[in-house]
Chain A
Amino acid sequence: MLANVNRATPYLFLAPAVLVMAVALLYPIGYMIWASFLDWNPSQRIGEAEFVGLRNYIYLLGDAAFRESFWVTIRFAAIVVTVEMVLGVGLALLLDRKLRGMTVLRTIFILPMMIAPIVVGLMWRYMYHPTVGTLNRMLESVGLPSAPWLSDGTWAFASIVIADIWQWTPFIFILALAALQSLPQSAMEAARIDGASGWQLIWHVKLPLMLPVLIVTALLRLIDAFKVLEVILVLTNGGPGLSTEIVALRIARTAQEFQDLGTAAAMSNLLLILLLVLTILMFGYTRLTERRAARLAAAREAEIT
């Protein structure tokens, strides 16, 4: 009897958390999945909406505009995360030393991240303004032709990429810096004694040791990049054409402008599935490298004994 109670205790302690999870996470997701099978107009209650099975999904697969926005999202996420990773880690490697005023510098570096996305959008929008914007004025003052920042498809895409990189590189930077500073000094010293150059040290010691943190950082950024909405909404609202219409924006427009909550829910689910697959792949990869490292360590130990 007592043994039973003892066994049940951990579950009892877990119960509140499970309950909160169920209400706060599973319920909305279940609601969204259910909604994606409905032809649901926001003027109706969910109970009044007609069940249409997989029609929303079939429609989406055949919808050229959705496919286009899907590619825009993937392109956007891939580019910004790659560039941000390179810049952020690079900055962290450069600034991982004792300089005077370093604390102030670091605070300044992470400022962009702290600004509300709508404000970031507005700020860049004014900077990109064709005639009075800072960027075009600067170009003109050095005798270069002004650029169609937001009025040409390719430029507009580049513009939102620039704004996102500006805002989110600091995120990678602080995480990478924290990872760098928690690396075991002994490994670094050993490498130095073995005569490793600065580059070798970074390439063969620091980066591999930082890798687990970097993977999680990249994953977090990637998930975020897939869902970015406000900055693009303010900057281009998806235009010109569909050149900057990422899936999150298309979902918002489908729900608001087209008044089609079912299709919007189906789109959200597709995005969720994509993110899930990405997450599983990333964790699978870390699990794999960890296991390999463990095997290597075990082998080495066997060799020694």
Chain B
Amino acid sequence: MGASAICLAIAILPGCDGGRPKRVPVSGRVLIDDKPLAYGFIRLTPMGARPATATLDAEGRFTLTTFEPGDGVVPGAHPVSVLAAEPLSGSTQRWHAPKKYANPRTSGLSATIDGPNDDLVIRLTWAGGKSFVERVTAGE
């Protein structure tokens, strides 16, 4: 009984962080037309691992989180998406960056993470457009 309990305990103890991949701390900025993006979220979507996400502050700065706050992202080359839709009510939102950046398949953005990085710069552009308010046909 005692021996089997010890074996069980030893088998389970290292399992606390077991299966979780190695992450490296990454922080940086999102710029749109060389100015900080003042509202939005950034997400890196690795293949075969959990995505890393962060909220942008008023200067466009972010610190990525995968499992624990600020633990960074799994190394590799990952698609990047930036959602910059600020809800103004239940049915209107202001887009601070073009919609295409919100989807990793259409954003055209990627980032290569090969080690800790404290100044990953993601550059967006309006390409002549500008910030707009969208009305969504869905009430509360």
Instruction: Answer whether A and B are interacting partners.
Output: no
Binding site for A on B (CB under 8 A): none
Binding site for B on A (CB under 8 A): none
